[in-house]
C-alpha cells in the first residue's frame, strides 16, 4: 500500500514480532525498508522469523526479552540504539490472553495479562519516547488494541482492562509528546486468522463459526490487513494523525456501542 522505501533508514521495534500479527507487521515494515527489531520470550521463534525476513532481503534482528521486565527492556533497547544508532518506531503488539470468569480469576492470572499488555507497553513506550525526545523528536508508536477494551467482555476482563489502559496511555502521551513530533496511535483488530488469539480464545467447538456469524462483512480479518493499517499509521503519510484508535473489525462492533 505504501510506496517502496517508505521506511528506508528507519529502525522499528516490534514486541511479539515472532508470531501472529506482530510477525506480519515486521515483514511489512522490513519490505518497506525498515530494519526491524523483534522482541519476544522464545529465542527459537525469534531466530526463525529473523532468518526468514533476511532471506527475503530484509534487515532484522531478534532479542529475547519479556516486556514485563523493565530492566531487560531498557538494556535491549539501549543495545539496539548502540548497534543501529537509532530507534524510530515502536509497535506494542506483545500480549497474553485467556478466557476466565472474573469471579474465578486469581491475582496472578490478572497480573500475568495486565503486566504484559499495560506495563509492557508502558516500559517500551517510555523508553523509546525518552530516546526520541533526547535525539530531538520525531518518530511514532502504534499499539495493538482489542474491541473488548471499548465494549467489555465478561471472559477477558484482564485483557480488556489492560488494553483500555493502553488506549488511555496512547491519548495521554500523544498530548504530552506532540510538541516533540512524536505520534502515538492504536490499531484495534477484530478476530484475525492464523494467530494466537484464534488458538487461545476460539478453540472451543463452534466458537470460531459463531463469531463469524456476528461480522457484517462475513469473514475474519487477515494479518496483512492489520499490518497495512499499522504501517500507514507509523509512516509519514499519517503525519497529522495522533491519539487515534483505528478499529478494523469488519463492522463487528457496529451496533454494540
Ligand atoms: C478478539 C480477540 C482478542 C484477542 C486478544 C489477545 O490478546 S490474543 C493473544 C493471545 N496470545 C497469547 O496469549 C500468547 C501469550 N500468552 C501467554 O504467555 C500465557 O497465556 C500467559 C498470558 C498466561 C502468560 O504466561 P506466564 O507464563 O507469564 O503465566 P503463567 O502460566 O505462570 O500463569 C500466570 C497465572 O495465570 C493463570 N492462568 C493462565 N492461563 C489460565 C487460564 N486459561 N485460565 C485461568 N487462569 C489461567 C495461571 O494459573 C497463573 O495463576 P496462578 O495459578 O499462579 O494463580
Ligand atoms: N489475533 C487476533 O484476532 C487479535 C489480536 N489482538 C492483539 O493483537 C496482538 C497480537 O495478537 P496475536 O497475533 O493473536 O498474538 P500471538 O499469540 O500470535 O503472538 C503473541 C506474541 O507476543 C509475544 N509475547 C507474549 N508475551 C510476551 C512477553 N511477556 N514479552 C515479550 N513478548 C511476549 C509472543 O512471543 P513469546 O511467546 O515468544 O514471548 C508472540 O510473539 C496482541 O496485542 C493481541 O492482543 C487484538 C484483537 C484480535
pLDDT tens per residue across span 1-48: 899 999 999 999 999 999 999 999 999 999 999 999 999 999 999 999
Which residues, given as ranges, of the chain have pLDDT below 50? Answer: none
Whether 49 is in the pocket of ligand 2, judged by its Cβ within 6 Å, is: no
CB 41 within 8 Å of CB 19 = no
Cell of 252: 463487528
Between the CA of 11 and the centroid of ligand 2 the distance, in Å, is 21
The torsion of the CA quartet 228, 230, 233, 236, rounded to 10 degrees, works out to -70
Q: Tell me, what's the pLDDT at 257?
A: 60
pLDDT score, position 255? 80
For position 256, what pLDDT does the model report? 73
Residue 77 included in any domain = yes
Residues 6+ apart with CB under 8 A from 106: none
pLDDT of residue 9: 98
Q: Would you tell me how many other CB atoms lie within 10 Å of the CB of residue 253?
A: 18
pLDDT for the residue 238: 98
> How do beta strands 35-40 and 59-64 pair?
parallel
Q: 25 in a domain, yes or no?
A: yes
CB of 189 within 6 A of ligand 2: the answer is yes
Task: Output phi, psi for 118, to 5 deg.
Answer: -85, -55
Q: How far is the CA of 132 from the centre of ligand 1 (A)?
A: 32
Residue 215 lies in a domain: no
Does 255 reside within a domain? Answer: no
Which-ligand-closest: CA of 113? Answer: 1
What is the value of pTM for the model shown? 0.98
Determine the structural domain holding residue 229 and report its residue range: 11-189+223-238
Find out whether the beta carbon of 118 lies less than 6 Å from any atom of ligand 2. Answer: no
Torsion of CA 116, 117, 120, 126, to 10 degrees: -170
Amino acid at each position: 500500500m505504501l510506496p517502496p522505501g517508505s521506511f528506508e533508514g528507519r529502525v522499528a521495534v516490534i514486541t511479539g514480532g515472532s508470531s501472529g500479527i506482530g510477525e506480519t507487521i515486521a515483514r511489512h515494515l522490513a519490505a518497506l525498508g525498515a530494519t526491524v527489531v523483534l522482541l519476544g520470550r522464545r529465542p527459537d521463534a525469534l531466530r526463525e522469523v529473523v532468518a526468514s525476513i533476511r532471506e527475503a532481503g530484509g534487515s532484522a534482528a531478534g532479542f529475547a526479552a519479556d516486556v514485563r521486565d523493565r530492566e531487560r527492556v531498557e538494556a535491549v533497547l539501549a543495545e539496539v540504539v548502540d548497534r543501529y544508532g537509532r530507534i524510530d518506531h515502536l509497535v506494542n503488539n506483545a500480549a497474553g490472553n485467556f478466557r476466565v470468569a472474573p469471579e474465578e480469576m486469581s491475582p496472578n492470572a490478572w497480573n500475568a495479562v495486565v503486566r504484559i499488555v499495560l506495563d509492557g507497553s508502558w516500559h517500551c513506550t517510555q523508553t523509546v519516547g525518552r530516546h526520541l525526545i533526547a535525539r530531538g523528536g520525531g518518530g511514532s508508536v502504534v499499539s495493538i488494541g482489542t474491541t473488548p477494551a471499548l465494549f467489555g467482555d465478561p471472559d477477558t476482563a484482564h485483557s480488556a482492562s489492560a488494553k483500555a489502559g493502553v488506549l488511555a496511555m496512547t491519548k495521554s502521551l500523544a498530548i504530552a509528546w506532540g510538541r516533540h513530533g512524536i505520534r502515538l496511535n492504536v490499531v484495534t483488530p477484530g478476530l484475525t486468522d492464523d494467530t494466537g488469539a484464534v488458538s487461545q480464545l476460539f478453540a472451543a467447538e463452534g466458537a470460531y463459526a459463531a463469531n463469524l456469524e456476528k461480522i457484517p462483512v462475513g469473514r475474519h480479518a487477515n494479518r496483512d490487513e492489520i499490518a497495512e493499517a499499522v504501517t500507514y499509521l507509523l509512516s509519514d503519510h499519517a503525519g497529522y494523525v495522533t491519539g487515534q484508535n483505528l478499529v478494523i473489525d469488519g463492522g463487528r462492533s457496529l451496533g454494540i456501542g
